[in-house]
Chain A
Amino acid sequence: MSDEQAAGPALVDARGLRCPLPVIRLAARARDLPAGALVTVLATDPAARHDVPAWARMRGHETAGERRVVPDDGAEEHWALTVRLGPPPGRAS
């Protein structure tokens, strides 16, 4: 288990959703979390792997991990993308 998982990041399951929905779901979840929190989004859409880090950069967050997940239960392969939240907009110094 990675450090992120041990710390219990918030989880957004966006598997099966096409762009830009994984990023939108992630942003909606991030809105309710404090600075420093970790959020992991699960996505089957290949665009999410590029767009989650781009979103993080545009919003002052930090990319904290990228993992390809191959489930043994026959479920679809997907990305687990983790972001560490920065200060919320408006409260940033």
Chain B
Amino acid sequence: MNEPGRRIEVASDQDVVRVRQQVRTLAVAVKLSLVDQTKIVTAASELARNTLVYGGGGWVEVAPADNGRRKGIRIVFSDHGPGIADLDLAFTDGYTTGGGLGLGLSGARRLVDEFDIVTAVGEGTTITVTKWCR
């Protein structure tokens, strides 16, 4: 029972900024607390950058979520990049293949309530995250 979201193509730095702004606007609209707004926007920034840098670009969909009990925000990040061969390694704090800090994936997972990842080598990666209002 989730409404359709808004899809944002992610192909440049500027698009990552657009994702942040879109997530911020919706996080305010569904009335997440200030700290939770900050967490979901930060997580979205990390994951959108991954879509761009590691996935070679893709799209992000931002939508309100409602499980009947609580409202929240759900974001999908999808790319057709190389995929992730070793998920355990990818979720290790400090591990990176791209010269970053290695905190994007592991850190983003800590900042959201639900985190789902589907990845296949050579096909791409789709990550879905949800943050619920308390």
* A pairs with B: no
**Chain A interface (Cβ within 8 Å of chain B)?**
none
